[in-house]
């Protein structure tokens, strides 16, 4: 209810690489991913989108590794040997932290480097990798960074103020998961306020009735015929280190871009 289905998460990455990439010298793509349902499905989607686009962009490295992987030194050497223009790493937060630390330690530079969690849990990544290590990294721009128009629940600014009041002195980082959890609560609240009963099919019916009608701080609530979330899609952005503070620059799609990519 609060996360886009994994098969459409990476569409902005693939669209950027296949539309703008060739003219920017991004033609050879290396992809490394953790073989769990969340990131394995995203890897399948990247592969599918790039292949079907037939834009002259090729996957020159495509490898899955266990989610428990914590050392990427050898893998980074193998990636470098494939001479990629763009590197896509798909893993959970601990994977991204270990991967980006190894990138820093190795001194390797990639023209385009994408990771998931610098965008989804930015505070956590800054704490464990450092703002310098996130400079120029491409990532998703989540709803914790974009103020969407709402017709139900608190807008982002008000919610962030409430979050800081509740957790500001604790050890809980603010990020996409903070917004996603709240969104799930909003959908349930709205559904329970109008459902005819608590029967499973009645709840299913009323939640489907919210599709295309509900706008929360997470974006437009929209479901496909199987109940997968397809409305709350995250644009592609890039992190810029400004004196130890990380800021987002949205680069794709063009109609929501706030700047151009830096390589």
The sign of the torsion formed by the CA atoms of 113, 116, 118, 119 equals: positive
Could you tell me what percent of the chain has a pLDDT over 90?
Answer: 86
How many CA atoms lie less than 13 Å away from 41 in the CB half-sphere? 8
Using CB atoms within 10 Å of the CB of residue 24, give its burial: 0 to 12 exposed, 13 to 18 middle, 19+ buried. Answer: middle
Is the pLDDT confidence value at 168 over 90?
A: no
Spell out the residues 6+ positions from residue 99 whose beta carbon is closer than 8 angstroms to its own.
32, 72, 89, 91, 115
Main-chain dihedrals φ then ψ at residue 89, nearest 5 degrees: -115, 125
Is the pLDDT confidence value at 234 over 80?
A: yes
**Residue 169: pLDDT band by 50, 70, 90 thresholds?**
confident
3-class DSSP state for residue 7?
A: coil
Mean pLDDT over 247-252 rounds to: 96
What pLDDT does residue 172 have? 82
What pLDDT does residue 46 have? 97
**Residue 250: pLDDT band by 50, 70, 90 thresholds?**
very high
What radius of gyration, in Å, describes the C-alpha atoms of the chain? 19
What pLDDT does residue 8 have? 86
**Residue 153: pLDDT band by 50, 70, 90 thresholds?**
very high
What is the rounded average pLDDT for all residues in the chain? Answer: 94
What digits encode the pLDDT tens for the residues 130-141?
999 999 999 999
What pLDDT does residue 49 have? 96
What digits encode the pLDDT tens for the residues 45-61?
999 999 999 999 999 99
How far is the C-alpha of 132 from the C-alpha of 79, rounded, in Å?
Answer: 22
**Residue 189: pLDDT band by 50, 70, 90 thresholds?**
very high
CB 26 within 8 A of CB 86: yes
Write out the DSSP string of 198-235.
S-HHHHHHHHHHTTTT-EETTEE--B-TTS-B-S-PPP
Could you tell me what percent of the chain has a pLDDT over 70?
Answer: 100
Task: Say which residue, 255 or 96, is predicted with more confidence.
Answer: 96
CA distances (Å), origin 240, targets 132, 133, 232, 237, 262: 9, 10, 24, 10, 9
Alpha helices in the chain (DSSP H): 11-19, 37-53, 73-81, 93-106, 117-120, 122-129, 131-134, 156-167, 176-194, 200-209
Main-chain dihedrals φ then ψ at residue 139, nearest 5 degrees: -165, 175
- Give the N- to C-terminal CA distance of the chain in Å, as an integer: 35
**Residue 70: pLDDT band by 50, 70, 90 thresholds?**
very high
Mean pLDDT over 222-229 rounds to: 91
Q: Kindly report the pTM of this predicted structure.
A: 0.89
**Residue 5: pLDDT band by 50, 70, 90 thresholds?**
confident
């Amino acid at each position: 209810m609060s996360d886009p289905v994994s098969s459409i998460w990476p569409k902005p990455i693939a669209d950027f690489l296949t539309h703008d990439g060739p003219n920017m010298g991004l033609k050879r793509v290396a992809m490394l991913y953790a073989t769990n349902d969340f990131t394995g499905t995203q890897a399948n989607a990247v592969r599918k989108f790039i292949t079907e686009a037939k834009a002259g962009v090729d996957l020159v490295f495509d490898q899955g590794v266990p989610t428990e992987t914590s050392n990427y030194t050898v893998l980074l050497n193998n990636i470098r040997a494939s001479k990629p223009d763009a590197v896509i790493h798909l893993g959970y937060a601990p994977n991204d932290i270990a991967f980006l630390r190894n990138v820093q330690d190795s001194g390797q530079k990639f023209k385009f480097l994408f990771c998931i969690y610098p965008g989804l849990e930015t505070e956590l990544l800054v704490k464990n990798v450092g703002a310098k290590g996130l400079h120029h990294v491409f990532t998703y721009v989540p709803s914790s960074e974009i103020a969407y128009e709402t017709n139900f629940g608190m807008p982002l600014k008000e919610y962030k103020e409430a979050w800081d009041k509740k957790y500001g002195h604790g050890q809980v980082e603010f990020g996409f998961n903070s917004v996603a959890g709240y969104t799930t609560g909003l959908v349930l609240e709205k559904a329970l306020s109008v459902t005819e009963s608590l029967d499973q099919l009645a709840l299913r019916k009323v939640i489907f009735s919210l599709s295309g009608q509900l706008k929360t701080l997470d974006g437009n609530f929209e479901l496909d015929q199987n109940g997968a979330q397809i409305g709350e899609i995250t644009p592609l952005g890039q992190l810029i280190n400004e004196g130890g503070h990380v800021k987002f620059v949205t680069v794709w799609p063009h109609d929501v871009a706030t700047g151009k990519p830096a390589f």
